[in-house]
Amino acid sequence: MKSKKPKILFIAPFPPPYAGPENSAKTFLESDLNNQFDIIKFNTNFRNSNADKGRVGLKMVSAFFKLNRKLIVVLTKEKPDIVYFYVTATILGWIGKDIWVIFLSKLLGSKVVIHMRAGHFRRNFDRTNNVFKWIISNSLNRVDYNLAQSFSLAQQYSGVVKDSNKIGFIYNMIDISKYACIDNTQYDENIILFLGHLSHAKGYNDILKVIPRISIKYPKIKFVFAGTKKEIERNITFNDSTGESILFENPENVYKEYIKGKFEKNYQYLGQLGENDKISWLKKCNFFLLPSYSEGFSTAVLEGIATGKPILTTPVGGLKDVIKHNVNGLLVLPGELNNLENAILELLGNNALRNQIAYNNILYRKNFYIKNIEDKYSDIFHSLL
């Protein structure tokens, strides 16, 4: 008689809307892990738009209560061997959801594996009150394995999780076959692509401010943006590189000051893209740009690597672990506009450097190949059975 596959309850936000965690969850479900485990999907997403994420209100409170009630039903009915779920970086998310998922899962006999999806958890943890620190710390130490998305991001657990053997990291995975270009020499040298929330924290305002100077030197250049416009930041308030508070500006006001009526021909907003259109623009662009103030492990950067494009970004969160300056990308510190401008000009004007970085990413992308990452998940899950 064929033995039953181990059962995993996968708790995560699933698309729509599409953002980093949702895309990662989708890829996980599409992987071959389904052949090794009986994976049960449990969706925590109750937002219709990325712009609503982090908004506190009755809808969020109600969603937390409904989620926990539903979780008890699923845990009791399915009796999963392992509960694997994405935890948040905010204290509200931990107190309202994450501690209860851990508590209920352990109470009802499941092993628990968590995966931190952001780079600002530890800053939030260190700044909260002692009661919340104790509650969250106690929950983390009940977890059977605490994952992050990279080595640097895993350090957020240091000093909180007592057993270092229960701390590790697994990169995001990606289906390289979808993104790989047939001919990497075919691209539009005038297209610079940004994917993500069009927000201050993602460096969107900084790009707007350097567009005029870049466009004067390269009149045909086109900065192409795809994602959700966000005028208000609810979760990210610090520069991850310096620790300083971010002085926020409304992106619409910055657009009106620097772009509107003057450099609109050098700016294009695509809105939110489906997967096929997104991949098409990645293949078409010269290089990928994301000068964020804070990141976990950017799925958009990973998609740029998978397409074999040069990456211009900042050394924040997990990006400093996967992007090496002048090797597979260029790194500038968040908010340093002169350095951002110079880096853009370097990639536009130095074809030898641009092409070498692109080639290095073609070689480097195998580190995120689905099969390689699947094996790491499989090893961890089997070690807990």
Say yes or no to pLDDT of 24 above 70: yes
- 215 and 227 Cβ atoms separated by less than 8 Å: no
> What burial letters (b/e) apply to 109-147, b meaning 16+ CB within 10 Å?
ebbbbbbbbbbbbbbbbeebeeebeebbeebbeebbbbb
Residue ranges covered by each domain of the chain? 7-173+369-384, 176-367
Question: Rounded mean pLDDT of 54-62?
Answer: 60
| Rounded Cα gap, residues 175 and 162, in angstroms | 35
| Rounded Cα gap, residues 107 and 375, in angstroms | 29
Residues in the chain: 385
| Rounded Cα gap, residues 1 and 4, in angstroms | 9
Q: What is the DSSP string of 225-241?
A: EES-B-S--SS--B-TT
Which pLDDT score, from 0 to 100, does residue 239 have? 86
Do the first three CATH levels of 7-173+369-384 and 176-367 match, i.e. the same topology? yes
Which pLDDT score, from 0 to 100, does residue 59 have? 65
Two tokens, residue 331: 């790194």
pLDDT, tens only, 232-264: 776 788 888 888 888 889 999 999 999 999 999
Predicted structure pTM score: 0.90
Question: Rounded mean pLDDT of 93-114?
Answer: 96
CATH of domain 7-173+369-384: 3.40.50.2000
Question: Rounded mean pLDDT of 358-374?
Answer: 95
176-367: CATH topology is Rossmann fold (3.40.50)
Question: Rounded mean pLDDT of 45-66?
Answer: 62
Q: Please state, in angstroms and as integers, the Cα–Cα distance from residue 325 to each residue in 175, 185, 203, 311, following that order.
A: 25, 22, 18, 10
Which pLDDT score, from 0 to 100, does residue 53 have? 47
Which pLDDT score, from 0 to 100, does residue 45 have? 82
Which pLDDT score, from 0 to 100, does residue 16 have? 73
Question: Rounded mean pLDDT of 6-31?
Answer: 89
Which pLDDT score, from 0 to 100, does residue 238 have? 86
pLDDT, tens only, 344-365: 999 999 999 999 999 999 999 9
Two tokens, residue 188: 């539009």
- 109 and 76 Cβ atoms separated by less than 8 Å: no
pLDDT, tens only, 194-219: 999 999 999 999 999 999 999 999 99
- 154 and 161 Cβ atoms separated by less than 8 Å: no
pLDDT, tens only, 288-340: 999 999 999 999 999 999 999 999 999 999 999 999 999 999 999 999 999 99
Query: What is the chain's mean pLDDT, rounded?
Result: 92
